[in-house]
Chains A and B, each alone.
Chain A
Amino acid sequence: DAKTTQPTSMDCAEGRAANLPCNHSTISGNEYVYWYRQIHSQGPQYIIHGLKNNETNEMASLIITEDRKSSTLILPHATLRDTAVYYCIVKGGNTPLVFGKGTRLSVIA
């Protein structure tokens, strides 16, 4: 079973920041938080990952709380092309990715 809890769906206005929350209260010290997204039926796309520090790349920012029990993925200026299912995954070591149901983000014009 997935170790994360995410809202089923969210809406975001185009051009605004999309903030996608994820709860992972049972995360272990050596486990990372990964975010992937899947646009329609395409292959999942890696977005970002982090251990305990906040991370930023060209796609998004990842904010992890100090106790590491939750995190937020931030898409700073959402576009229609960001409409997708977003998966928050907790993973450590050589374990495989375990996908939950994710959050369906709809970006609205």
Chain B
Amino acid sequence: DSGVTQTPKHLITATGQRVTLRCSPRSGDLSVYWYQQSLDQGLQFLIQYYNGEERAKGNILERFSAQQFPDLHSELNLSSLELGDSALYFCASSVGLAGAREQFFGPGTRLTVL
């Protein structure tokens, strides 16, 4: 158990819909990262937040957005969903920003878009 929690575990929805994925980082961790893992793209970094502020952006679509709240939990919002958005979405957390810090990953949310 990494200490990072994600809800829901599974999500099935239809194209065009909007969903929200939630992540609670490990106690004391200020950084939250979101990753997408699809069969054809592998594990891809989406976005990072540190203490409520966006710090780095990866291959995140404009239809996707995220935020980190004062209690440090984070939400990833996916809108106008397409079939290709079906994937595993992982959240990770780390103590801070600096380089030599490991990230701890949650169990993921499996999103299926029908």
Task: Count chain A residues whose beta carbon lies closer than 8 angstroms to a beta carbon of B.
Answer: 24
Q: Are B90 and A44 in contact (CB under 8 A)?
A: yes
Q: Are A41 and B42 in contact (CB under 8 A)?
A: no
Given the complex, which residues of B lie within 8 Å of A34, measured CB to CB?
A: 102
| Set A46, A87, A99, A101: member contacting B104, Cβ < 8 A | A46
Q: Are A43 and B102 in contact (CB under 8 A)?
A: no
Q: Are A94 and B102 in contact (CB under 8 A)?
A: no
Q: How far is the CB of B70 from chain A (nearest CB, A)?
A: 22
Q: Which of B14-22, B71-79, B93-101 contacts A (4 or more CB under 8 A)?
A: B93-101
Given the complex, which residues of A lie within 8 Å of B100, measured CB to CB?
A: 32, 49, 51
- A70-106 near B? 1/0 per residue, CB < 8 Å: 0000000000000000010001111111111100000
Q: Are B90 and A43 in contact (CB under 8 A)?
A: yes
* A99 CA to B98 CA, complexed, in Å: 18
* A57 CA to B92 CA, complexed, in Å: 21
- B58-92 near A? 1/0 per residue, CB < 8 Å: 10000000000000000000000000000010101
Q: How far is the CB of A17 from chain B (nearest CB, A)?
A: 23
Given the complex, which residues of B lie within 8 Å of A87, measured CB to CB?
A: 43
* A99 CA to B46 CA, complexed, in Å: 12
9 tightest Cβ-Cβ pairs between the two chains A and B: A43-B105, A99-B43, A46-B102, A96-B45, A93-B99, A44-B105, A94-B97, A43-B90, A43-B106
Interface residues of A (CB under 8 A from B): 30, 32, 34, 38, 41-46, 49, 51, 87, 91-101
Interface residues of B (CB under 8 A from A): 2, 4, 33, 35, 42-45, 48, 55-56, 58, 88, 90, 92, 97-100, 102-108, 110
